[in-house]
Amino acid sequence: MRGFPPRGCDMAGLPNASYSITLRLHLDPADAGAIGRVTSAIGHDDGAVVAVEVVETTGERQVVDVTANARDDEHAASVQAAVDALDGVHVHHVGDRTFLLHLKGKLEVTPTVPLRTRDDLSMAYTPGVARVCRAIADHPEDARRWTIKGNTVAIVSDGSAVLGLGDIGPEAALPVMEGKAALFKRFAGIDAWPVCIDATTVDDIVRIVEAIAPTYGGINLEDISAPRCFEVERRLEASLDIPVFHDDQHGTAIVVLAALLNALRLVDKPIEEVTVAMSGAGAAGVAVAQLLLHEGVKDVVVADSRGILGPSRNGLEGSKAWLAEHANHSGRDGTLKDALAGADVFVGVSAPDLLEPEDLEVMADDAIVFPLANPDPEVDPTGAARYAAVVATGRSDYPNQINNVLAFPGVFRGALDGRAHRITEEMKVAAAHALAAVIPPAELSAASIIPGALDERVAPAVAGAVEAVAAADASR
């Protein structure tokens, strides 16, 4: 099965840390079998015990914390009820580990200089700081050197297209942006900050970002719905002198290209000779198609919910009109299933369960299938592996996760270090090739075409490639 879970194994239904609870139990200290009954009850209810800690034992009671993973909220409640029903076991308190992790946010501001003496204060703040202010006023470009601007990115979102959640607004989007900021710091040492804005129009978003831009060395646009995101990015790239990068578009495209480069090496197909069928013409779909065409893919046939973007589709505007004109060189019409006929590659960035595994049978030999809708892919990955040589998904519980964290930290690290003014197509291609090269030929397999999200080699490799392109651009 090419490294995928056995047929019939529903990975989506397995307990996981996203629904992890800690049960604080009061037990009779004389009851030696109580803990065993608790763990057995959790196991019988299909929960996964991950930790047992005896907090204290007195003559009257034993306090024990049992941590277990569940599938979802309903399953977590069922696990709690199964334990609470045991004789001699009292559930005193239940803590949700995911919510506790987010308590009071995931970020803080920490000074990088000591503030212990009067001298420290006089240099870090008044009156010494005035000298640095005057120097920057005389040479504004030096703000990157003497302030946080050189290592700070704004993560800007209006909360209108949060992955898997939709239009939930800026406050509800904040935990996601905090998490993104934490990833920036963890993998690239960049101080990123969430900027969740209460704005709905392109004009308002652009005006707000332009106004705050002097503080930041780069702008990461995040979870802004299409088609507004295209215009926001285009206008900000034109008006700002710092890199602007819509990660939902370009981060996805970079990682897809990297994974495809390695998958094509495995099946021994030149990128210039393959046809790619795609599902999804939103932000990610447009960027993936554009980058694949830029890299030389023979043909990219994109379908949205109404079918293939081609010559028979009237009334198309914006990015969809561009795809109908510049992609689909073969002039195909019809449905997504028609796009699959003879295609070497399928990339899904759309919606769950659009295809049955059997629908892939019409693809070319040694097909490559990337169903990336998350959490539920366009086609069951395990079933897809019966018809494809290589399968990748957007999920962490299958091999070959297409995860944007493999791109954006290194891309911004390289852009900041290279003092780039924008992220170019050449930088994206260089990032993709560097990411693909992290997997050496000896380690390349159908279950290993892309590094894991926690691979420490990734961000430095991507950053180096992007910085090199930035340096070459600066020398021209």
Residues 6+ apart with CB under 8 A from 185: 191, 192
State which amino acid sits at residue 309. Answer: L
Q: Are strands 48-57 and 345-348 parallel, antiparallel or unpaired?
A: unpaired
Q: DSSP states of 177-217 as a string?
A: HHHHHHHHHHHH--EEEEEE----SHHHHHHHHHHHGGG-S
For 425, the token pair is 């197509």
Instruction: Pick the catalytic residue from 19, 104, 106, 125.
Output: 125
Instruction: Pick the catalytic residue from 180, 269, 320, 428.
Output: 180
Short-list 66, 61, 75, CA closest to 95: 66
Q: Which residue matches tokens 């709690």?
A: 80
Helices H / strands E in the chain, number of each: 17, 14
Q: Are strands 16-27 and 89-96 parallel, antiparallel or unpaired?
A: antiparallel
Q: Is the peptide bond before 375 cis (omega within 30 degrees of 0)?
A: yes
Short-list 376, 475, 462, CA closest to 423: 462
Short-list 125, 127, 147, CA closest to 137: 147
For residues 252 and 284, give the distance between their C-alpha atoms in angstroms, rounded to a whole number.
6
- 163: phi then psi, degrees, rounded to nearest 5: -50, 125
CB of 35 within 8 A of CB of 65?
Answer: no
- 441: phi then psi, degrees, rounded to nearest 5: -55, -35
For residues 48 and 71, give the distance between their C-alpha atoms in angstroms, rounded to a whole number.
9
Report which DSSP code applies to 160.
S
**Start-end of H helices in 345-448:** 381-384, 408-417, 425-437
Is 180 an annotated catalytic residue?
Answer: yes
Is 104 an annotated catalytic residue?
Answer: no
For 134, the token pair is 């005057």
Helix H or strand E segment including 371 = strand 368-371
Report which DSSP code applies to 364.
P
Q: What radius of gyration do the chain's Cα atoms show?
A: 26
- Active-site amino acid positions: 125, 180
